[in-house]
Copies of this chain bind each other. A is one copy, B any other.
């Protein structure tokens, strides 16, 4: 094989609602992509493998595969359950060996991490946060998740960040809502995810008019999440993605409420006059997730 031979990488974004599979290259270009709805683990994993084979068929063997998954995940390579999805609110999926299934089938290096750690890596490599060594990527959709890069490296410790399960203070107009998280009730995911909006308002966020009170409550909760991140991970940028953020009224309200919750304590221009560059949308937009998986494939080598 000459040095000019092109290499192809597989990418899988494993979400609670849908799976996206793709083949891409090391420049962050997606050459082909397909998606399907998430069902039970066995048929979903079979479809994932068949889809990757089909997509790769047009190009050649895959050099590596990146898998960004909903979590929580076992990411410690020395652990017996490395590659598994752990106890998860997603019914039926706890204990699924998702990375192992790919490794056994394709026998190439598998880059495995949370979907949001992958998306953080993609925004860092190709998107909104190039040259920013400390950032958090949040997705607000079926669930609420956050990936984090500190000092240029993905955060892995005992586990990985699970910021969707922080508890915000209840909004005064939301005192009676118990939340929908099966583990915590009214944690952030329980109060501000897509399913939480349906439970509170009786309809999906896509159907809510921009002037609905829901958006003020939503912005307040997401701003509390951003404030907690500023005070712990100390990012230089927070990237807010996911379907719920398609409501464009949210972004400026979140920035204003973040300043409210910080209470003038951290007098950094980045958090004051320059806050529009501190809390930003993903530059990779809806592709942050699948490009995250591609970035994980490159990271695996």
A interface secondary structure, majority: loop
How distant is A37 from chain B, measured CB to nearest CB, in Å? Answer: 26
Contact of A167 among B161, B232, B261, B266 (CB under 8 A): B261
CB distance from A136 to the nearest CB of B (A): 9
Chain A interface residue count, Cβ-Cβ cutoff 8 angstroms: 44
A149 to chain B, nearest CB (A): 9
Q: Which residues of chain B come closer than 8 Å to A163, judged between CB atoms?
A: 231-232
Q: How many copies does the complex hold?
A: 2
B233 touches A167 (CB 8 A): no
A residues 17-37 with Cβ under 8 Å of B? Answer: none
Complex: A165 Cα to B169 Cα, angstroms: 14
**A158 — nearest CB in chain B belongs to which residue?**
B236
**Shortest CB–CB separation between residue A150 and chain B, in angstroms?**
5
Partner of A232, one of B229, B267, B270: B229
A residues 77-110 touching B (CB-CB < 8 Å): 86-87
Q: Does A268 contact B (CB under 8 A)?
A: yes
Q: How far is the CB of A76 from chain B (nearest CB, A)?
A: 10
Alpha-carbon gap, A37 to B161, bound state (A): 40
A54: Cβ under 8 A from any B Cβ = no
How many angstroms from the CA of A150 to the CA of B151 in the assembled complex?
Answer: 9
In the assembled complex, which residues on chain B have CB atoms less than 8 Å from the CB atom of A264? Answer: 87, 183
Chain A 227-266 interface residues, beta-carbon cutoff 8 Å to B? 227-236, 261, 263-266
| Interfacial chain B residues near A232, Cβ < 8 Å | 148, 161, 163, 166, 228-229, 232-233
20 contacts between A and B (CB under 8 A): A86-B267, A87-B267, A133-B157, A134-B158, A148-B232, A150-B150, A151-B156, A155-B233, A156-B234, A157-B235, A158-B271, A159-B234, A160-B234, A161-B231, A165-B231, A165-B265, A166-B232, A167-B227, A184-B263, A228-B232
